[in-house]
Amino acid sequence: MKKLIYFVLIFLVSISCKDTTDDGPIGNPNGGDDPIEGVRLVFPFEDSLCNEGTDLTPTESTVFFEWEPNDGAQTYILTVENLNNGNIQQFETEDFIFPVTIQRAVAFRWYVSYNSQGEALDSEIWNFYNAGPGVQTYAPFPAEIVSPSMAQNVPSTNAVLLEWEGTDVDGDIVNYDIYFGTQNPPELNTSNFASDQLTVTVSPDTIYYWEIVTRDAEGNTSESGVFQFKVLD
Q: Which residues of 185-218 are buried (b: 16+ CB within 10 A; e: fewer)?
A: ebeebeeeeeebebeeebeeeeebbbbbbbbbee
Q: Are 46 and 92 in contact (CB under 8 A)?
A: no
Note the pLDDT of residue 133: 84
Reference 215, options 188, 181, 197, 192; nearest CA is 192
Closest CA to 13 of 47, 46, 50: 50
Mean pLDDT of the chain: 85
Q: How far is CA 48 from CA 44, 131, 166, in A?
A: 7, 10, 14
Are 202 and 231 a contacting pair, CB within 8 Å?
A: yes
Does pTM top 0.85 for this prediction? no
**CA-angle at 156, arms to 153 and 159, nearest 5°:** 95
Q: Which domains does the chain have, with CATH numbers?
A: 2-130 (2.60.40.10), 144-231 (2.60.40.10)
Return the bridge partners of 140, or none.
Answer: none
Q: Is the pLDDT of residue 31 over 50?
A: no
Give 105-145 pLDDT, tens digit per residue.
Answer: 999 999 999 987 777 889 999 999 998 887 778 899 999 99
- Kindly list the distances between the CA atom of residue 215 and the CA atoms of 52, 65, 119, 141, 172, in Å, as whole numbers in the listed order: 26, 29, 39, 10, 9
Rounded-to-integer distance, Cα 228 and Cα 9, Å: 42
